[in-house]
Amino acid sequence: MSPMKIAKTVTVWIPAVLIALSGLAKLVGNPQIVEGLAKLGVQPYVPPLGAMDVAFAALIVVSATFNSDSCSRRATLRAIATELSHGALSVNPFIPIGLLWTGAFIRDRSIFFEPGHAGRHAQNRHAGD
């Protein structure tokens, strides 16, 4: 396996597994997770947030949903902003978001360097239209 293939695999699967585990912890009502989210005022939404985490993790690993994966990157940034605004920011969300952005860069650099460009994957998908 080439080093680039290994890098792509690692930057896709590690954040996907971390996000999926976080979602499962929310779904089963892990006391630490529920307590932390209660401090942010979102305790009633813990199960739906867990389900969304699991769904995002699935979107990350399916390469056909590469552009949808940007949705999970944005959602993680919003979660960081929420924690920051409530004074509860920790290093935890930065690990998967860093890996997700690194993976996006390795997969398709054009999403970072070509303004107004949706990436090769979106172009390829619409090429048959």
Q: From CA 103, how far away is CA 13, in angstroms rounded?
A: 10
Q: How far apart are the first and last CA of the chain?
A: 35
Q: Quick one: pLDDT at residue 28?
A: 97
Q: From CA 53, how far away is CA 51, in angstroms rounded?
A: 5
Sign of the C-alpha dihedral computed for residues 107, 15, 20 and 48 taken in this order: negative
pLDDT per residue as tens, the chain (129 positions): 888 888 888 888 888 898 899 899 999 999 998 998 888 888 888 898 889 888 888 887 876 555 555 666 666 666 666 666 667 667 777 777 777 778 777 777 776 676 655 555 555 554 544
For the entire predicted model, the pTM comes to 0.64
* Closest C-alpha to 79, from 53, 116, 58, 112: 53
